[in-house]
Each structure stands twice: as structure tokens, then as C-alpha cells.
Structure 1
Amino acid sequence: MKAPKSSPRVKASKMERANYKWIYLFLLPTVLIFLMFYFVPIIQVFLTSFTKWDGFNAPEFNGLTNYINMFTNSGFTYALKNLFYWCLVGMFLHVGFGVLTAFVLYQKPRGWKFTRMVFMIPNVISAAAWAMIYRFFFSDDMGILNSFIRLIDPNFHVQWFYTSPWAFWAVTFTWLFYAVIVTLLVLGDLMNIPQELNEAAKIDGASGWQLVRHIQLPLCRSAIGTSVICTLTSRISMYEQISLTTQGGPGDDTMSLSILLVKGITDYRYGYANAIGVLMFVIGLIILGIVNKAFRMDVSDY
């Protein structure tokens, strides 16, 4: 008696299971790298955040002392407030400017390729270099901005990075309009929209604004959501622009969590610094979850 033949679906399933071992083999190096350089350090940071540790001697458990010191620090309150304001500015102005630029370039006006190239040039320069450039730009004695203003008001003198409340906005301008990553992400999604959708909408009588609002913007949802995540998490870890310009001053006007973290390290308070690191990590996870849900990034566009 002949054995029953396997159906094509069963054969395909067996072949897929046979290929799993190769998939796992190729994933193994990535998993090991993640465990060694990401997962284990994150666990160590979390555990040592409950200790008194100077970086040299063995950590000593001190419970919630680091977190209590952190939340009762006046600089920490300013850092959270600044982070909130920078996130609002980044989400609406920084991302908004990048999205607007992407939609303008998508229309391919005359000189759009040259504009795209010029728009990318400043983003090749490091954040530290831009911070130093802006120190001269906002300088009272030789800065371009004050020199231009003094053409109108000869008696105008403001040290932008050292005067409240202008220091906050001076730091903000060091990154606000450099949104090429946002533009490239959104422009890539715009380029991938099937032309049939745009043409069908035009045939149905859709205006240019209706085309943008009802077709192009919704189909760029994932790219815009990714841009918001990148922008907000960059504000959490923002260090160079502040350290090289205001160092968190004047007072605590431009204080950030990363400045407090580095200060904890330089003061040999590694447990305290790791407590700040844990909070930054948690805030990043919360932002990731909220943005993912708000932009429905797990839902397919097509």
C-alpha cells in the first residue's frame, strides 16, 4: 500500500521549518551584540542606580537615595521643564519645518535638487561644531546677529547665551532648522506613493490641498511618526549644544538631564548619574509608546 503523498502546503511548511536553523544562525551575532553592548549595560545601569558608587570602589546599596536627591534637586526641575518645552518646539516647529520642506521639494520646483543639496550641507557638520559656530553668531561684540541689529539700534547689546530668557532660545536655534533627516524620511514616503492614487484623486476633482490632506499626509504617517521619535529622543540626550554654549546657565535656564548626568560622573557620583540615565531611558520608552500609538505606526499604509 502506497503512503499518502504530502500536499504542496505541507511540503512548503516543512521547508520553512528546515530553514529556521539558518535564520537563527544569522541572527545569533546580532543577538549576542545586543546582549553584550545594550541589554547587559542597561541592567547594570538600573542596578547601580540604587547604590552609592564612585566608579572605583564597589557599589554600596543605598536604596532610593539617588532618586530622592534627583527629584529634590532644583536643577532637575528646570531640566524637566526645559525638556518639555524643547519637545513641544521640536515636535511642532522642527518636525513641521522638515515636513513642509519635504512637501515643497516633492513638487519639484525649479532648482529643487540644488535646494535639497544645500539643505543637507549644514547637517553634515557635527552638533559640537555648530554649537561653536553659534557662539560667534550670537556673540555681542562680533556676532552677525547683533551687528545687524545695531544697524537699526546702535545701543543694542545682548549676550544671548548668558542672558535670561534669551539663552533658552539661543540654544534652541542651534538645532531648530536643521531638519534634513525629517525631510529625507518624509520625502522618501512621498516618492513611494503610487501615482495612480494621485491621478485618481485629481480625476475625482480633488484640489491640491485636498490631495495633501487626504492622501499624501496620511500615507506619510509612519515617516512623520519616526521623525517625531527621533526629534524627541534627541532632545532627551542633547548635550553638546548646551555644554559648549551655556553649560546649563544662566542659572538653570538651559539645564538638561544630560548635563546633570555628566556632572554626576565628573563628581564621581556614578550611582546618581545612573539614576538620571534610568529616568532618561524610561522617558524615551514612554515617548516611543505614545508616538507609536498616536501615529498608528504598526498599521500598514497600503
Structure 2
Amino acid sequence: MSSNRKTAASRLERKNYKWIYLFLLPSFIVFITFYIQPIFTVFYTSFTKWDGFNKPKFIGLTNYINMFGNTAFRYSLKNLLLWSFIAAVFHVGFGVLVAFAIFKKPFGWKFTRAVFMIPNVISAAAWAMIYRFMFHDDMGMINNIIRKFNPEFHVQWFYQSPFAFIAVTLTWLFYAVIVTLIVLNDLFAIPGDLFEAARVDGASDFQLIKYIQLPLCKNAIGTSIIASITARVAMYEQIALTTAGGPGDDTMNLPVILVKSIMDLKYGYANANGVIMFILGLFILWLVNRLFKMNESVY
């Protein structure tokens, strides 16, 4: 009797699965059309000479050989490595610190959270222009404050090495509200019983953070690191509207090279850069997942 019930249940499940597949079909078509097909096109045309209008001409690995032989590309990889380290350690670290501070609910914490959100409502392009004027040598706020103490100080931040790299980094370094919100969400989701039990056992505030809060927020922190580093891989506005990759190649990165290649009608070379960006994104996702063991349950 029980076997007949199991058989009937399995048949009902298979019947329901057909409807599930039917409802998933539109999403699957959209995914194929707008994601898989463009990705395939990017990979294929990265091995071609293509101006975006005429038929692509297959040239093998020439685009990749030229790309790795390009000084600007090598500088962009070096800058990406430095920005990734800064993003993972300082950018995410700052966002986590703010999240832990807000979690304590000090006086005015709601106001602080709202104010901390404001810069992220403004577009990256607008922030780039704001910083461009803030760091201006003559009219900029930064240099005018410094000249109160050192009247001879004159630095063209976005146009002078090595200050350009620092200035570009400051355009995004402390705007970590997304990190704060992700981590704060996990902090508020921790059951209060855990804190009460730890307090009964004599745990200090530092021990609560070290042994309860940080381990239970590891997935949120890992997600924040992935989002932060991939944002550095795709960062364009902050550089294009301030330094354009200069001075020299001090602030060059892959999106700037990609856009410049498109403007020069070198679509095959541009897509080779796109493939490298895609691979870097997958590698970052894999690496952070392995380091933070994000597939394992935290409870």
C-alpha cells in the first residue's frame, strides 16, 4: 500500500515539474538571449580582427599576444592588484567597522545610517566630478586647507604621479554603505539567545565579536569582498572623468583600455580585454568562496 502511495506521489511530482519547466522557459530564453549569446560572441570575436561593422576575421591569439605585450595592460593588472587589496582590506574593513558600530545602536545611529547612505545615491560619474574639483590645485578644498599650514604646497592630484593613484582611490575608498548594509543585515539576524548565553558564560564584548558575530557574518563579508573587488575590475567613471588612465599609465585599468579600443574600432582587441575581465571575475568568485567557505552553513 505504501509503495503505491510513493508511486502516485512521484508521478504527481513529475507532473508538477512539467509546469515548473514551462514557467521557467521565458526566463531561460531571456538568459540565453541576453547573457549566454553575448558572452559567446565576446569570446569568439576576441580571436578576430573586427571593426564592429565588417565580418570578423579570425587571427588566433594575436589580440591576446598584443594585449600582454602592451605596457598599459600590464600597468592595469598591477593597479587592479593594488586596488583589489585595498578594496578587500580597507574598503570592506571600513564598511564592517561601521556596521558593528551601528549594530550597537549608539545615540543618533539611525541618522548616521541615513547620512552614510547619501553618497551612494549619487552616481559614480557625479562623484568623480566632485572629487575633481575638490582636488583642484587652485580652487580645490583639499589644497586650500593644506596651504593654511604650508603656503608653498601645490599638487595637481589627478595629473601628477604618484598622487593620481591616491586621488582615484579616495573617490571610492570610504563609500562602503553596501558592505555596511549587507553585514548589518546578518548581525541583526543573529539570535539574541546566543548573546545571552555568552554573557552568562562571562564573554566580553571582544569575545562576542570574535567568536559569535564575525563567524556568523563570514558569508556577508565574503559577499562584500566579491562585490568590492569586481567593482574595481569594472571601475570606469572614476578614472575616465578624472585621470583618463594617466599620468602615463599610473591609473590605467581594463575598462579604460576596452573603451579606448572600441573608440579606435578595435572590437576584437576590446573583447579580448572583456574576456580577461570575465575570467578575473570568475576567479575572484571562486577564490573568495574557497577562502570564506561560503557554501557551508554558519548555523
Fold shared by both chains (TM-score > 0.5) = yes
Match of 1:22 in 2: 19
Match of 2:116 in 1: 119
Match of 1:44 in 2: 41
4+ long deviations beyond 2 Å: 4-18
Question: Which one of the candidate residues 149, 152, 161 is aligned to 1:152?
Answer: 149
Stretch of structure 1 that moved more, 167-176 or 7-16: 7-16
Give the whole-Å Cα distance in 1 for the aligned partners of 2:11 and 2:93: 49
Structure 2: which 5+ residue stretches go unaligned? none
Question: Which one of the candidate residues 197, 201, 204 is aligned to 2:198?
Answer: 201
1:105 and 2:84 matched: no
Residue deviations 1:109-164 (CA, integer Å, cap 9, x gap):
01000000000001000000000000001000111100100111111110000000
Code of the aligned partner of 1:299: E
Match of 1:85 in 2: 82
Give the alignment's TM-score, normalised by structure 2. 0.98
Give the whole-Å Cα distance in 2 for the aligned partners of 1:189 and 1:150: 44
Shift of 1:28: 1.5
Shift of 1:298: 0.6
1:231 and 2:228 matched: yes
1:300 and 2:297 matched: yes
Give the whole-Å Cα distance in 2 for the aligned partners of 1:104 and 1:182: 13
Code of the aligned partner of 1:28: L
Stretch of structure 1 that moved more, 102-111 or 21-30: 21-30
Give the alignment's TM-score, normalised by structure 1. 0.97
Match of 1:177 in 2: 174
Code of the aligned partner of 1:283: L
Shift of 1:13: 3.8
Give the whole-Å Cα distance in 2 for the aligned partners of 1:201 and 1:25: 50
Shift of 1:17: 2.5
Code of the aligned partner of 1:166: F
Structure 1: which 5+ residue stretches go unaligned? none
Residue deviations 1:238-277 (CA, integer Å, cap 9, x gap):
0000000000000000000000000110000000000010
Match of 2:50 in 1: 53
